[in-house]
Amino acid sequence: MAPAVALRSSTAWYDSPLYYDMVYEDYTKRETRFLHAAVKKYGKGFTKKWKILEPACGSGRLLESLAECGHTVHGFDLNRNQVAYAKKRLKSYGSSAKAWRDSLQDFRMPAAGEYDVVHCFVSTFKYILKEKDAVAALRGMSKALRSGGLCFIGLHLTDYSNNPEDYEKWVNRRPGVKVCSETWSAPARRKERKEAMRTCMTITEKGKTRVEETLWDFRTYSVAELKALLAKVPSLGLVACHDFHYDIKNKRRLNDAYSDIILVLKKQ
Ligand SMILES: C[S@@+](CC[C@H](N)C(=O)[O-])C[C@H]1O[C@@H](n2cnc3c(N)ncnc32)[C@H](O)[C@@H]1O
């Protein structure tokens, strides 16, 4: 299961924004399209150009994609390399696109109460390991939004009664580089509300192959635990749920039957 050679690191996954970006780039168009369809379906008072905040924006792939659509995009991330990479790719959009360094659990924002959209996809929210910090992050997202603005959170839910090890693999290429990313999630430790995650990126560049391994914990959420969290931030009302297929026509119920959920929340 594990690659033969591994370089242990706690942050390699995000210290290498190019490889991260390659792994996730197939999602970018789908997520961008989904956001537009969801705003059309669930939004109120939206003009053609929105003000968007992406907490934990990573390499800025979505900031760029949404800036390209004419929106004002702001994003922050804890990882310096990701922020530097995002800043570079946003340069040509001038003052309407900004990235800076900050943390999910207590972030400052340039325009509180002014954002039309806040989004946080691909289980990023699960990096917040304590309930009080998750509540603080959610409150921050709510505070960022104008009344009627929409908050999107995508995360993998845990069914503690059926919780085997999970494995996913992505392969992507750009000229001169091939990246194969494999991610394992261990069964959740229910008491701690944590699951051990492991990613191995096998990178082939200039005829050489190396492996970078990243280990981290995610906070787990059953449906009940997620509902309990949402109840602590009533200023964000649940409007609808979708899943990681990003299909606006396919709504999901927030129940135990499906695990990759996208919450659509509206600022009251
Ligand atoms: C899965 S990536 C998602 C990035 C981006 N939102 C996207 O969809 O491509 C997770 C990101 O969260 C960042 N991150 C993890 N914990 C964080 C925290 N406490 N505060 C801010 N950023 C954090 C990592 O540095 C990484 O860039």
82 and 203 together in one domain = no
Q: Output the tens digit of pLDDT for each of the chain's 268 residues.
A: 333 333 444 567 788 899 888 988 889 999 999 999 999 999 988 999 999 999 999 999 999 999 999 999 999 999 999 999 999 999 999 999 999 999 999 999 889 999 999 999 999 999 999 999 999 999 999 999 999 999 999 999 999 999 999 999 999 999 999 999 999 999 999 999 999 999 999 999 999 999 989 999 999 999 999 999 999 999 999 999 999 999 999 999 998 878 999 999 999 9
Distance 207 CA to ligand 1 centre (A): 30
Q: Which two tokens stand for residue 192?
A: 């701690």
Judging by beta carbons within 10 Å of its beta carbon (0-12, 13-18, 19+), is residue 154 exposed, middle or buried? buried
Count the domains in the chain: 2
Distance 134 CA to ligand 1 centre (A): 14
Distance 158 CA to ligand 1 centre (A): 20
- Identify the domain containing residue 195 by its residue range: 161-219
End residue of a domain, out of 203, 219, 235: 219
d(CA 268, CA 27) in angstroms, rounded, equals 29
Domain contains 9: no
User: What per-residue string of b and e applies to 66-79 under the rule 16 or more CB within 10 Å gives b?
Assistant: bbeeebbbbbbbbb
Smallest CA separation from ligand 1 atom 3, residue: 58
d(CA 42, CA 28) in angstroms, rounded, equals 21
End residue of a domain, out of 181, 200, 219: 219
107 and 234 together in one domain = yes
149 and 236 together in one domain = yes
